[in-house]
Amino acid sequence: MRRLLVILTLLLSLGLGNVAQGEVQWRETNREVQGRTWNDPRSSDGIEIYGSRGTITIVTPRRITVRVYTILGQMVSQATLQAGTSELRLGTRGIYLVRIANLTQKVAI
């Protein structure tokens, strides 16, 4: 069982290699999107996070620092985003954790 877990972890890390090496970049966009609002009772910032078609989209009314991790805890991206809409195109489908300040949101793409 332990050996299977090690093999699975290695395969996943190989499959996510291009994501984990920081080859992805945020880009600002003027596109209007409709999706799910980050509805956390601790935050009334109006930050919206979407996951669709290999892209994580964040709409924010103010400048924020965002970190994106794989479900295994590998950092995919860290950036400071300006107010507006920003997109991060990822080459690998999966579940990602988006962390803004002390709040974390799960996003599936």
Domains along the sequence of the chain with CATH: 2-108 (2.60.40)
7-57 confidence digits (pLDDT tens): 666 555 545 444 444 457 788 776 554 444 444 444 547 899 989 889 999
Task: Tell me, rounded to whole angstroms, the distance of Cα 108 from its chain centroid.
Answer: 9
> What is the C-alpha separation between 18 and 101, in angstroms, rounded?
26
- pTM here? 0.66
Spatial neighbors of 26 by CB under 8 A, at least 6 apart, are 66, 77, 79, 81, 86, 87, 88
57-85 confidence digits (pLDDT tens): 999 999 999 999 999 999 999 999 999 99
Residue 69 · residue 94 · CB < 8 Å:
no
Predicted local confidence at residue 68, as pLDDT: 96
Closest to 76 in 3D by CA, of 88, 60, 59, 64: 88
> What is the C-alpha separation between 63 and 106, in angstroms, rounded?
21
